[in-house]
Structure 1
């Protein structure tokens, strides 16, 4: 708990100095909302559907308010295995950039942290099957975030979105697959789903019935979460629930960044276990994927 408090205190300080702004505080919010410095996103506690004893597990989150009045659509941003923070403990540039991009469209944004409350800082170096935070955990987090958003007076509960990257993209798939009992029972359901380079194997093998329209964005050179299972997922989708997929030639994992491509030898998973994986940006894929993401979301938010 002490580590969590120190992290949150540092984050609020860093976010107050960051160029990204969160807009004015909403007129009415759940009791879990905490004060933040002017111009910074609001620190919030979001109940997961996972319980600890008699109480729900409370997750750290950062709430970016859209400019303007009235009820607005809202998106949950789901981080990858590295968590939502950078090496300095600040909210990662990817999260801040996308929050700003989406706010410009007039949409609220919630960045959700599934790791800190569970005593973890990253999952990337943990083998799949032994990870301390499982996909079942993250699915319950995403469903809890949707419920939290639906209770807000400034949110249009009929226009909610799950958007994730890598492990967070896999969470989007898991939290929208109606073959899971908890997903089928949960309300509200999202209006749209976006997954950047997710791992698609698990939901492909299970059988995927999406609760909302889905846009997949994958790199064909990805050797961490390969594109092929995602292509198969889209190909097998019924005509009544089609899945849109965009494939980017020469793009590795994390293509929507400006970072150079490097090989991470500390990652035990991937196409060639034990040999590491490639991660890094691709300028063409970065631009094309964001353009496609915004077009898809604007289509679905009508």
Structure 2
């Protein structure tokens, strides 16, 4: 057994002491989006600091605990707070929880994030389904010797985001009068917000929104054979020419305002699993 699989097993065995049910879905919650966990019933909360080999989140808006319970009657495992490469973690640490959730039994991964908008049609507070991504992060989570038991050396990335789940989300949104965009997410390292020139560059190459997370987790999820649904809350618009000073506090506030709509869509998708 490799070092990575040994660590995955240790983390999974520790979590299983507190929760024996096999979760069908994993949920990763982004900045200011942790309140979705209130929808989880009969829950067990485990601080990241207690789980073997788990990093600890250092970012405001990320509470740093694993929550296991039921949403819409389905067993789920949720991360209230995620890890970022810019915090100093390796890509293997950033994506380690995805490996553990897969080992616990999930087959579908739901991801949310706060993102900067680059599409002129977007407004602050809009929701964007991620239909594809562009990876501009400087390190790759699969670099190094491949673990064949975890996935193939060269994973296919032609459909990293499930088209079936995207179609289902659009139907849920239409039934509840929720306006949704669909677009391409650009993943960058951070922690600085982008310059005006960088926003324009990323829009020119095909991006609709930009953020500092999600892409590594999606790559590892694809490697592990998981279905993925991901959604961005547009918390600022960086492509406009007018004064646009962005703060993390404003990002959290915009995310909180849009959270009920995102929660409804995630909850309904999980009900349909």
Identify whether the pair has TM-score above 0.5, normalized to the shorter chain: no
Shorter-chain-normalised TM-score: which range? 0.3 to 0.5
More helix by share: 2
TM-score scaled by length of structure 1: 0.34
Q: Which has the higher contact order (CA 8 A, sep 6+)?
A: 2
